Amino acid sequence: MAGKTYSVVLPFEKRGKRFLTVQPAQCRSEENAIGRAERDAKRFAGVIAFRQVEKDDTGEVLDESAIFARHGQLLADIADE
């Protein structure tokens, strides 16, 4: 069961009390994702960078996502991990 690892940056906009996700960006590496998250933090209310492993043939998520960068305002469950 082979898997593919993705490094993703997910920005959030805050509208009132609500957080809305913005289009996620797939990055080439964890280091690229960290840099992108730092840059995006200047434009958005909050940003996370995380790693996700998906099964090649089905796209099923194999492991729990691992967040490796957090910036700005985030939902409590994301900010506290």
- Is a pLDDT exceeding 80 seen at residue 28? yes
> Strand, coil or helix: what is 13?
strand
CA distance 66 to 32: 15
**Cα–Cα nearest to 46, from 20, 21, 11, 76:** 11
Q: Which two tokens stand for residue 5?
A: 């690892």
* 45 in Cβ contact with 72 (< 8 Å): yes
Of the ranges 8-12, 28-32, 34-38, 70-74, which one carries the lowest mean pLDDT score?
A: 70-74
Model-level pTM? 0.83
How many CB atoms are closer than 10 A to CB 11?
Answer: 22
